Structure 1
Amino acid sequence: MAVYQRFLRILIRNYIIGSTVAVFGIGGLYMFSTLHLQREDMLAMVVILLIAVTTMFTAEAIMFKRYFDPIRQVFLRQARTAQDIERAYLVVHRLPLLTVKRTLGPHLIGFSVPGMSMALLAISNGWLHLPNRFVWLALVGCLLVSLMHAMIEFYLTTEAIRPVLSHLRGWSLQDYSLDLSLHGEVLVSTRRKYTLSALLIGTIPTMLFGLATNVRLAETDSSFESYWQWALIILLLGVGFSAASAMLMSRSVQQPIEELQEMMRHVQRGRFTVQASDLYSDEFSRLISGFNLMVQDLRVRDEMNTQLLESYFSTLAATLDARDPYTAGHSTRVAKYSVQIGRTYGLPPEQLDLLNKSALLHDIGKIGIRDNVLLKEGKLTDEEFAQIKLHPVLGEAILLQIQPAEAMAPLLPGVRSHHERYDGRGYPDGLVGENIPLFGRIMAVADAFDAMTSDRPYRQGMAIEKALAILADGKGTQWDPQFAQLFIDIQRVEMAEDRHPAFGKAL
């Protein structure tokens, strides 16, 4: 409701200020600075002007109410149908054009017809001492001032309707999941809009100056110097009108371009959920509609590519696990534990996604280990263990072969370093402490825990409590103390929830 009331105040303010400036400001200044009127003539002109303005305001109020009713009703109703909102949306889009019709209809006719009639009557009865031809020149002047007012009102209304269109679109999306749009329909073409605006900006001040000069020279006996003082005032008014109109024209182009540029910056960053608001009734509506369709298509393709990529990683992990049925699911569990640690640590979603992929592929290098070593059930010889220790390097080498290389690059550090120890006694590089890549330190904890708690042909997996105790003992030597403690805390909370569900809800 606040949006509606503010919108109504802006329209009424624009109309009152615009009409006052056009009629009393520009029209009155042209009239009273051009004509040499006696006191009784001045009084007659003021009376005629007030009656004509009253008629004009009455006629415009009737038409304004008719135009505005569909908008008012949709904001005042408690229950709004999708059709009500859509109808109001279309009417709001048409308001700039309706404003022009209102200004050139009741504004011009409601002012000029009674004004001319009373002026001719006053001249014929001797109440006003002016030639009849001045009245007809005044009619032309009224038309020019109305065109000037209509153009400025058009651009001001175009700006004023944007918050209301956004509000109606939000209602439609929230209540009916319907995204309102003109779908590329052009209510007023850019070419016609700017051609007419440029024509009016260039010609109205010149024509008004010509009319005023015709009257001034016809009845003045003043000096050449006083004429140019008057002419300077008239010319300055024309320049002011042209400058204000040009500014409004440029803003009407600049705003949609800046909005599209901002949306394109989001798309460049990979944010395919953005949608540009369709708040324009010219060719920009087509441009925005096309942009939104393009972004929607990009979003669908991105989702498909993401699904394919995730399926690719899962397939690689499943391929590795299929070689050894006793470790099936190991990569998936390590990925799950790693993401739990990363999320608790506060990694952003993009990093969590990369951590998950790294963990899924952390043992991919074991594909290069011979079966008689990888699947051996007994104790490994030193030579066999040396072969096993090669799998992080082999994994990195395998991933380096996958294109595009930049897609795999973030995964390489974790795959290579997940067997490094915090005290520097790990492999393959003997890195120490925080020199070990972040993903490697996280995955080392997750990998060790799953290895300890999973069943093997030659041993049964140990109890969770015992595995957590080993992790606690190895903090700062085998594992990063922060990540080991985070994982211990996570597991203890999960165990408490399993034993006492109400405890988990309280947490």
Structure 2
Amino acid sequence: MTLYKQFERRLLKNYILGSTAAVLGVGGVFLFTTLRFSWKEIFMISSILLLSSIFMFSLEYLFFHMHTAVFRSYYSKKVPSIQMAEKVYFHAHHFPVRTVKRILGPHLFGLSIPAITFTAAAIYFEFLSLPYYYIYLATLGAILVAGMHAIIEFFLTTKAVQPILKDILDRTLKDHGVTLSLASSRHISIQRKIQWSTLFIGTFPLLLFALANQVRLYQISGAINSSYWSWALFVLIIGISFAIYGAYLLFKDIQQPMNELQAGMYEVRTGNSNAKVDDLYSDEFSKLIKGFNHMGRAIQSRDQENKQLLESFFATMAATLDARDPYTAGHSLRVADYAMKIGQMAGLPFQQLLQLRKAALLHDIGKIGIPDMILLKEEKLTDEEFEMIKKHPVIGADILAQVQPFEAMKPLLPGVRYHHERFDGNGYPEKLAGNSIPIFGRIIAVADAYDAMTSDRPYRKGMTHEKALAILEDGRGTQWDPYLTQLFIDEMKLKSIS
């Protein structure tokens, strides 16, 4: 609650100083330096300003209390709900906008309406010797001062609310494990901030001078003729138009590098680490763009290192597995090469081919969990031993599922888990059939079978190339996928002829 109290005190301090400066400072100085009053009139006008200010401060505090109620409710709870955290987070982001509305509403009308009423009564009862025309000019001046005050309060409140926003983020992450984020549709437009700020900053001196000049001329020459009004209005329109156009150009100048940086960040987020933003700027945006491009190069370098580490991991694991049995040395690498040929002929995209190779390299990794007395046995396996062997696809998939990040391993799991399924549904571990067997599993099954048949074993010599292809031909549609098997047979026959 201490942080909120500090926030509330800072807001009240900003508001009291800003209101005092706007009402008594700008407004008072404008009145007492532009017009000539007797001491009696000075006392009367000061009293009117003071009474109107009290009314304004009272009404303003009422609205301030209403606008900060959500903060008090949030900080009164030890562990606020996620819904309340989201509500107060959005409220805090838009609190500066509420500050502007509070000043332009209760502030402006809470001051102007009582002041106009009291001043009109004072003129009517001859406590003030002023024309009613001045009330009209004073009303325009009040609107102008309130607008300028609102812009200043907007930026002061934006700064004051930042510690609250950080505290809400930290508490929500700690209490609920959620990082809050403002939806893009709820952002406060930079264009609006720049345009309104520049408009008031650019036109405030001009309009204030015009009002003061109007009062002075009225005192000197009485009512201003229509030709003066036409001229004054023309000058004001030119000044305001220039401020609006200048704000538009300023925003466009800022918007372009922001859009380019946003586009670059989107490219990086979607996986394109080569994204680069051209440095075409000579202001602070040049530093941001250089930093972004440096970040992109660092990500690209890290991705390349990670890729090399992953490739090295796959190759090392395959070599380690093959080293357990000297008779199967190189088996995983050969299966990976055969699988790549089949994948290329089947028209798999490049990225999928890379994943297929990794899956083929590790297709037998589950044999790590099979005892040597079974895996290296030269005699025929018993039924119990064969059942143990049949567990290696599941063991392999479970091993790879533990490797982080899981998303990098996920595409490889079907090839490892299902490379012993049969097309007719009599394989293992899940007796999948036909195209329900993932394509990596169907491809590796063909490649694995061919290499197993043509490699030497302790209990038999490897088959000839022709005999292995004949067995594959006979097993099309029963043991192996007919289409993929035929692609492999045609390729291997063509290779043997050439």
1:286 maps to 287
Give the residue type in structure 1 aligned to 2:336.
A
Kept after mapping to 2: 8 A contact 1:422/1:478: yes
Query: How far did 1:283 drift?
Result: 0.6
Render the CA deviation track for 1:455-486: whole Å, top value 9, x for unaligned. 33333333334333332332221112222223
Give the match for residue 359 of structure 1.
360
Shift of 1:242: 2.2
Q: Which residue of 2 aligns with 1:339?
A: 340
Where in structure 2 are the equivalents of 1:418-457 lying within 5 Å? 418-457=419-458
Cα deviation, 1:108-152, whole Å, max 9, x if unaligned, reads xxxxxxxxxxxxxxxxxxxxxxxxxxxxxxxxxxxxxxxxxxxxx
Q: How does 1:22-41 map to 2 (within 5 A)?
A: none
State the match for 2:202 in structure 1: 202
Contact persistence 2:199–2:240 (CA under 8 A): no
Bigger shift: 421-430 or 198-207? 198-207
Q: Structure 1 residues 202 and 478 mapped into 2: Cα distance closer, same or farther (>3 Å)?
A: same
Q: Structure 2 CA distance, aligned partners of 1:417 and 1:345? A: 19
Q: Give 3-state SS (helix, strand or coil) of 1:273's partner.
A: coil
Aligned-residue offset at 1:406: 4.0
Indicate the SS of the match to 2:397: helix
One-letter amino acid matched to 1:369: I
Looking at structure 1, the residues matched to 244 and 401 of structure 2 have their Cα atoms a distance apart, in angstroms, of: 62
Measure the CA separation in 2 of the matches of 1:453 and 1:226: 106
Equivalent-residue separation in structure 2 for 1:237 and 1:495 (angstroms) = 87
Q: Identify the residue that residue 458 of structure 1 maps to in structure 2.
A: 459
Q: 1:204 to 1:349 in 2, by over 3 A?
A: farther
- With over 3 angstroms needed to count, the CA separation of the structure-2 counterparts of 1:253 and 1:495, relative to structure 1, is farther
Query: TM-score, normalised to structure 1's length?
Result: 0.53
1:374-453 to 2 correspondence within 5 Å? Answer: 374-453=375-454
Question: Does residue 304 of the first structure (1) align with residue 305 of the second (2)?
Answer: yes
Letter in 1 for 2:469: L
In structure 1, the residue matched to 2:233 is 232
State how far apart, in whole Å, the 2-side matches of 1:344 and 1:199 are: 66
List per-residue Cα deviations over 1:253-309 (Å, max 9, x = no partner): 111111111111221223211211111111111111111111211211221111111
List, as ranges, runs of 4+ consecutive aligned residues in structure 1 with deviation greater than 6 Å.
Answer: none
- Residues 443/206 of structure 1: CA separation in 2 closer, same or farther (3 Å cut): same
Classify 1:346/1:260 alpha carbon distance in 2 versus 1 (closer, same or farther; 3 Å): farther
Task: List runs of 5+ in structure 1 lacking aligned partners.
Answer: 1-193, 500-507
Displacement of 1:251 after TM fit? Answer: 1.1
CA distance in 1, matches of 2:451, 2:266: 43
Write the letter of the residue equivalent to 2:416: V
CA change 1:317–1:203 in 2 (3 A) is same
- Partners in 1 of 2:443 and 2:334 — Cα distance? 13
> Structure 1 residues 236 and 486 mapped into 2: Cα distance closer, same or farther (>3 Å)?
farther
| Residue in 2 that maps onto 1:480 | 481
TM-score normalised over the length of structure 2: 0.54
Whether contact under 8 Å (2:394, 2:417) holds in the other structure is yes
Amino acid at match of 1:475: R
CA contact (8 A) 2:198 2:243 kept: no
* Equivalent residue, structure 1, for 2:63: none
Say if 2:199 and 2:247, in contact at 8 Å, map to a contact too.
no
Q: Does the residue aligned with 1:475 lie in a helix, a strand or coil?
A: coil
Aligned length: 297
Displacement of 1:371: 2.2
1:418 Cα shift?
0.4
1:201 CA displacement: 7.8
SS in 1 for 2:467: helix
The alpha carbon displacement at 1:318 in A equals 0.7
CA distance in 2, matches of 1:245, 1:340: 64
Equivalence map 1:138-287=2 (5 Å) = 202=202, 206=206, 224-287=225-288
In the aligned structure 2, how far is the partner of 1:205 from the partner of 1:340?
Answer: 78
Once residues 484 and 423 of structure 2 are traced to their aligned partners in structure 1, the CA distance between those partners, rounded to angstroms, is: 11
Structure 1 residues 319-369: Cα deviation after superposition (integer angstroms, max 9, x where no partner): 110011111111111112222222333333332232222111111111222
Letter in 1 for 2:202: G
CA contact (8 A) 1:201 1:241 kept: no
After TM superposition, the structure 1 stretch with the greater mean CA deviation from structure 2, 313-322 or 230-239, is: 230-239
Give the share of equivalent positions with the same residue, in percent.
Answer: 61
Q: Distance in 2 between matches of 1:430 and 1:245?
A: 73
Distance 1:238 1:318, change over 3 A: same
Report the Cα distance in structure 2 between the residues aligned to 1:227 and 1:494, rounded to whole angstroms. Answer: 98
- Amino acid in the other structure paired with 1:320: L
Residue 99 (structure 1) aligns with: none
Distance 2:329 2:448 in 1: 14
Check the 8 A contact 1:365/1:392 in 2, yes or no: yes
Measured after TM superposition, the shift of residue 411 of structure 1 is 2.3
Counterpart AA for 1:284 = F
Per the alignment, in what secondary structure is the counterpart of residue 425 of structure 1? coil
Residues in 1 aligned to 2:345 and 2:233: alpha-carbon distance in whole angstroms: 74
State the secondary structure of the residue aligned to 2:348.
coil
| Distance 1:495-1:248 versus aligned 2 partners, 3 A rule | farther
Matched-pair contact (CA < 8 Å) for 2:198–2:244: no
Go from structure 1 to structure 2 and tell me whether the alpha carbon gap of 1:282 and 1:378 turns closer, same or farther (over 3 Å shift).
Answer: same
Using the TM superposition, name which of 232-241 and 272-281 deviates more: 232-241
Q: Tell me the secondary structure at the aligned position of residue 429 of structure 2.
A: coil
Q: Which one is further off, 396-405 or 365-374? A: 396-405
Distance 1:260 1:494 in 2: 51
Mapped partners of 2:426, 2:237: distance in 1: 85
Contact 1:423–1:432, Cα closer than 8 Å, also in 2: yes
Give me the whole-angstrom Cα distance separating, in 1, the residues matched to 2:464 and 2:248: 76
Superimposed CA distance per residue, residues 428-460 of structure 1 (whole angstroms, 9 cap, x where no aligned partner): 111111221221111111111211222333333
Q: C-alpha root-mean-square deviation of aligned residues, in Å?
A: 3.3
SS across alignment from 1:266: helix
Return closer, same or farther for 1:201/1:437 CA change in 2, 3 Å cut-off: same
CA separation in 1, counterparts of 2:470 and 2:229? 99
1:200 CA displacement? 12
CA deviation after TM superposition for structure 1 residue 417, in Å: 0.7
Q: Structure 1 stretch 296-305 or stretch 464-473: which is displaced more?
A: 464-473
Q: Is the 8 A contact 1:205 1:239 kept in 2?
A: no
Deviation of 1:386 (Å)? 2.3
Q: Are the structure 2 counterparts of residues 205 and 317 from structure 1 closer, same or farther at C-alpha, using a change threshold of 3 Å?
A: same
Distance 1:247 1:370, change over 3 A: same
Long gaps (5+) in structure 2: 1-193, 218-222
CA offset at residue 244 of structure 1? 2.1
Match status 1:349 vs 2:350 = yes
Q: How many angstroms does 1:422 deviate by?
A: 0.8
